[in-house]
Amino acid sequence: MIMGSSRQQEPGAAHDRFSVRVRIDLSYDGTEFSGWAAQPGRRTVEGELSLGLGRVLRLAAPVPLTVAGRTDTGVHAHGQVAHADVPSDAWQTHGAAALRRLASALPPDIRVRAIGVAPDGFDARFSALWRCYAYRICDNPANADPLRRRDTLYHPRPLALSAMNEAAGRLLGEHDFAAFCRRREGATTVRALRRLEWERAPDGVAVGTIVADAFCHNMVRALVGALISVGEGSRPPSWPAAVLAAAVRDPQVRVVPPHGLALDEVRYPEPGQLAARAAATRRVRVQADADAVLVADPLGVAVGVPELAGVADPVGAAGVAGAPVTIRSLRLMLTVPVTRSLLNCSRALS
């Protein structure tokens, strides 16, 4: 689910003097889109935005994009982030008016909320610390709002959120989520799940907040499906963890419909740490793409990572300027838990 666009620029790469990297913050209603990624003959978010940005900047071709979260068909976004490398002269000429012109150039189910020159080292995909999704479920017919039918799943039976949260707590941490993912050959299904929690919104809707460093295909929707089974009482709270431990797809796990899901937020480090974060992500996470590197260090033997010198180390594991950094400490830096005080995923409870 959360992967970069098929058209990737080198993370944190230096740009020549003829191009500039711009960050794009956008929202979209995913109902009428075949997901984010451009596909021949299909209407996609990337296809529309790439074409619209090319028109606004008066370029001869659509603009290649790299995205933080490649959402599936029917999935929405409140806080999607992308970047594009565009000709410097085109941005200098047309950049100031880009936001206003995109409002006219794009269809009404996509809105760019901000666009501007990105800080040095920024990569929408690899610089991200975490992604936050929210899934909305209405389990009470009295609360069903026809105006929210495109972004809220209706469930005919009441859900016990306490049982769902008990089950969710057993899934937190870094695990192989193969049991909840649609496999891609050669791609890892290891992910660090930082938060998985259900609460009642003021309108009575059950809202699940899911935060991880990244997600594999169908992971969020399969996790939600497993927790619904717990919430309605057909499975015990221990069941999702047992499925996880088995590490194979279980046909009893329902993959819920996409329309209840929205990408709410993508969090990035401070500007001075963007390039280091991208370098760390590429070294630690196993990537299927040819541009990824896996550093194998099962014993935690120190390896020099000069890009990380002086990077803020939230768990006190490493980060001393000029000191070697171990793969073990890198993993700690990448998987430090998200707490309520750090999380700013406000739309998840709206």
Catalytic residue among 29, 72, 85, 213: 72
Q: Which residues contact 166 (CB under 8 A, 6 or more apart)?
A: 230, 237
So what's the pLDDT on residue 183? 78
Q: Angle 287-259-262 (CA atoms, 0-180°, nearest 5)?
A: 55
**CA separation for the pair 292, 310 (Å, rounded):** 23
Question: Which parts of 135-238 fold into alpha helices (H)?
Answer: 161-169, 219-231
In this structure, the chain runs to a length of 350
Helix axes 219-231, 239-246, angle to 10 degrees: 140
The first and second tokens of residue 349, run together, are 């409870």
End-to-end CA distance of the chain: 23
The first and second tokens of residue 124, run together, are 């929408």
pLDDT in tens, the chain (350 residues): 544 444 444 444 445 668 999 999 999 999 999 999 999 999 999 999 999 999 999 999 999 999 999 999 999 999 999 999 999 999 999 999 999 999 999 999 999 999 999 999 999 999 999 999 999 999 999 999 999 999 999 999 999 999 999 999 999 999 999 999 987 776 788 999 999 999 999 999 999 999 999 999 899 999 999 999 999 999 999 999 999 999 988 889 999 999 999 999 999 999 999 999 999 887 765 443 333 233 333 333 333 333 333 334 333 333 333 333 333 444 444 444 443 433 446 443 33
The first and second tokens of residue 213, run together, are 């460093």
The first and second tokens of residue 223, run together, are 């996790």
So what's the pLDDT on residue 15? 53
Return the half-sphere exposure (C-beta side, CA atoms, 13 A cut-off) of residue 92.
Answer: 7
Spatial contact of 174 and 192, defined as CB atoms under 8 Å apart: yes
Domains of the chain: 19-125 (3.30.70.580), 130-265+338-349 (3.30.70.660), 271-334 (no CATH)
Q: Which residues contact 24 (CB under 8 A, 6 or more apart)?
A: 49, 53, 65, 81, 82, 83, 84, 112, 114, 115
The conformational region for residue 28 under phi > 0 = left, psi -120 to 50 = alpha, else beta, is: beta
So what's the pLDDT on residue 14? 42
SS3 state at 265:
strand
Per-residue burial over 270-279, b if 16 or more Cβ lie within 10 Å, else e, is eeebbbbbbb
**Closest Cα partner for 224 from 135, 315, 323?**
135
So what's the pLDDT on residue 343? 42
Known catalytic membership, residue 289: no
So what's the pLDDT on residue 283? 75
**CA separation for the pair 24, 80 (Å, rounded):** 8
Spatial contact of 333 and 280, defined as CB atoms under 8 Å apart: yes
**CA separation for the pair 99, 303 (Å, rounded):** 44
So what's the pLDDT on residue 290? 34
